[in-house]
Amino acid sequence: MSAASREPAEPLVPVLAVVGVGLIGGSFAAALRDRAGVGRVLGVGRQAATLAQARDLGLIDEVASLEQAAQQADLIFLAMPVGATEAVLSRLEPHLRPDTLVTDAGSTKANVAAVARAVLGERIGQFIPGHPIAGAERTGPEAAEAGLYRGRTVVLTPLEENTSASKAYLTRVWECCGARVMAMDAEVHDTILASVSHVPHLLSSVFMWQVAGAHDSDLRMTLAGSGFRDFTRIAAGSPEIWRDIFLANRSAVLSELQEVKAALGRAEQALQDADGDQLQDFLERAALARRFWGSRSGLT
Amino acid sequence: MSAASREPAEPLVPVLAVVGVGLIGGSFAAALRDRAGVGRVLGVGRQAATLAQARDLGLIDEVASLEQAAQQADLIFLAMPVGATEAVLSRLEPHLRPDTLVTDAGSTKANVAAVARAVLGERIGQFIPGHPIAGAERTGPEAAEAGLYRGRTVVLTPLEENTSASKAYLTRVWECCGARVMAMDAEVHDTILASVSHVPHLLSSVFMWQVAGAHDSDLRMTLAGSGFRDFTRIAAGSPEIWRDIFLANRSAVLSELQEVKAALGRAEQALQDADGDQLQDFLERAALARRFWGSRSGLT
């Protein structure tokens, strides 16, 4: 889309459809609106109350069906639970205009790409898989905020059928939201996310489950402090969403888990040997790496 | 100390000595001062700059030596790294008045009690081991605040030589700081803390170490989000302090770690079997327990 081809008043996304107007979808709409990057916003979802709330909050202009979204939108952003991707794409596909672009926000990418390819067939070039790395502690449209993606990383895992123009366009849209865009293979994305997101969630949840099941769990909970609070915060996340993530990214999670267990075995051996130097060495490497990450990420 | 025996103007702690005027020691002094629970505060430490800062901040009235603290204080609060307990008690012991009470803030209790018993001999009744469960993300006197212990739990692990009067007195002092006091055996304390504090720290640090050592650690760090941030926050803690905690509580940590590894094995098996029901079951138990804890603890 060159400068010459754009009307002065035409926004980057003339008509946006958001499927699933919660934190992720609502914040996407809010960010584009905040930067005058969107004309009209259609909201699609299963729960009428949530859609009404999103409209009251000004996140969407009107409620639409998937069919209407496919017919009217220039860009469709899928932000519902990733397990619904196949059903949603199946209902969009027959009505999709040839110039409409579809993207998503799912936490795993190889499985989404496979599902999209199976459902969209020859229209697969219109779908670019994506994953904004942005917090999900709060949920629902009332948690949506225009600044959610500011300074955050958005990963796109483009397919070979995607055109350069569509990839450049989607990059501009995310940059309009304030995000940094990175492109990589879906398999690389899934392996990295298994490491920095899925395995920590598994460990945190397993730990919380073990403490809660102990015969003296009440006393344990009473003496749990701020370290426990931070370490277990992610374990409060949605069981359904995380079950689906683990199943979708099973082999990468299992493989990364072996790496962590091997490291744990070495630390355990140092502790068994009461080897203070080795304990301090690994604690120091961990502390330095964490402090460096904290100062760099802007997340601490 | 009955009402009749107290001068109207006499505070609960006429002279307090704080050894190690950082977050823990400084906040103890500040809390007592805030509630008019202390008369004069002596600050003891190795670093002149830290002591001067504590005095400038009004946390302490004057700098003192360990000998002066032993001679003048009614209550001595040990808040330096736990590894220094033996050396500090050895220097206090020859000068300790018979009515002076000594307590500490160390994260492990059986080893502190053993050290105190060896050093103090017949004066062991004057020492009551304690552990305030309060955050330690920030350090130093400038992090000290009068409200740090408000609503927090303080564990005392009294010795059989402690008198009822001294235990009741120390309980009143902590309650004056706004804390809830619980008494338990040192071994129970150490087992519980191994579970809710030391094992999480080990897992977080091992995980951080593993991620930082991966060949693609830069990319991993770039894609790490808020879940990673929370899960690894404790790994930034002091390597020296945590090495000492692990060594001091080695057998309880190793034993609790086996329990967590057994739970991890079950979760891993469910994932290997792609058993969605079992995955969701354990994720649900973890999420419910964490949400319940969060609503009850006031820490979320």
Q: What ranges do the domains of chain B cover?
A: 13-184, 189-297
Mean pLDDT of chain B: 94
B99 Cβ partners below 8 Å, 6+ apart?
A: B74
B136 band by pLDDT with thresholds 50, 70 and 90: low
Mean pLDDT of chain A: 94
Return the residue matching tokens 């304030």: A178
Question: Could you report the per-residue pLDDT of A176-214, keeping only the tens digit for each?
Answer: 999 999 999 999 999 999 999 999 999 999 999 999 999
- Distance in angstroms (rounded) separating the CA atoms of residues B131 and B178: 15
CATH code, residues A13-184: 3.40.50.720
Answer yes or no: do B290 and A208 touch at CB < 8 A: yes
Answer yes or no: do B271 and A235 touch at CB < 8 A: no
Percent of chain B with pLDDT over 90: 90
Amino acid at B102: V
Tell me how far CA of residue B80 lies from CA of A149, A290, B121, B186, B259, in angstroms: 43, 25, 22, 19, 32
pLDDT of residue A5: 54
Chain A residue at shortest CA distance from B196: A224
- Distance in angstroms (rounded) separating the CA atoms of residues B243 and A271: 9
User: Which CATH architecture describes the domain B189-297?
Assistant: Orthogonal Bundle (1.10)
pLDDT of residue B81: 86
Q: Is the pLDDT of residue B295 over 90?
A: no
Q: Is the pLDDT of residue B194 over 70?
A: yes
Q: What residues of B are in contact with residue A83 (Cβ under 8 Å)?
A: none
Answer yes or no: do B200 and A260 touch at CB < 8 A: no
Chain B residue at shortest CA distance from A238: B287
Q: Which of A3-12, A38-47, B10-19, B241-250 has the lowest mean pLDDT?
A: A3-12
Domain A188-297 bears CATH identifier 1.10.3660.10: yes
Higher pLDDT, B2 or A65: A65
Average pLDDT, stretch B202-215?
A: 98
Q: Which of A3-17, A135-149, B218-232, B285-299 has the lowest mean pLDDT?
A: A3-17
B276 Cβ partners below 8 Å, 6+ apart?
A: A243, A247
Q: What residues of B are in contact with residue A220 (Cβ under 8 Å)?
A: 192, 195-196
Please say whether the beta carbons of B246 and B198 come within 8 A.
yes
Answer yes or no: do A207 and B260 touch at CB < 8 A: yes
φ, ψ (nearest 5 deg) of residue B40: -110, 140
Q: Is the pLDDT of residue A1 over 60?
A: no
Number of residues that make up chain A? 300
Q: What residues of B are in contact with residue A209 (Cβ under 8 Å)?
A: 263, 267, 282, 285-286, 289
Answer yes or no: do A229 and B182 touch at CB < 8 A: no
* C-alpha closest to that of B283 among A83, A133, A241: A241
Average pLDDT, stretch B103-132?
A: 97
Structural tokens at position A92: 């969009």
Q: What residues of A are in contact with residue B201 (Cβ under 8 Å)?
A: 227
Answer yes or no: do A225 and B290 touch at CB < 8 A: no
**Cβ-based neighbour number of residue A3 at 10 Å:** 6
B7 band by pLDDT with thresholds 50, 70 and 90: low
H or E stretch covering B272: helix B250-272
- Distance in angstroms (rounded) separating the CA atoms of residues A152 and A24: 13
- CA angle at residue B136 from A275 to B54, to 5 degrees? 115
Question: Could you report the per-residue pLDDT of A22-36, keeping only the tens digit for each?
Answer: 999 999 999 999 999
B190 Cβ partners below 8 Å, 6+ apart?
A: B108, B109, B110, B249, B252
Helix axes B250-272, B199-213, angle to 10 degrees: 60
Beta bridge pairs of residue B104: B78
Q: Min CA distance, A235 vs chain B (Å)?
A: 5
B83 band by pLDDT with thresholds 50, 70 and 90: confident
Q: Which of A7-11, A116-120, A179-183 has the lowest mean pLDDT?
A: A7-11
Q: Is the pLDDT of residue B137 over 70?
A: no
Answer yes or no: do B195 and A211 touch at CB < 8 A: yes
- Distance in angstroms (rounded) separating the CA atoms of residues A108 and A124: 18
Tell me how far CA of residue A279 lies from CA of A46, A146, B190, B202, in angstroms: 52, 44, 19, 10
- Distance in angstroms (rounded) separating the CA atoms of residues A210 and B262: 9
- Distance in angstroms (rounded) separating the CA atoms of residues B101 and B127: 6
| Strand ranges inside B81-197, DSSP E | 101-104, 127-128, 130-132, 153-156, 180-183
pLDDT of residue B1: 47
Average pLDDT, stretch A277-289?
A: 97
Q: Is the pLDDT of residue A7 over 60?
A: no
Average pLDDT, stretch A89-115?
A: 97
Q: Is the pLDDT of residue B45 over 90?
A: yes
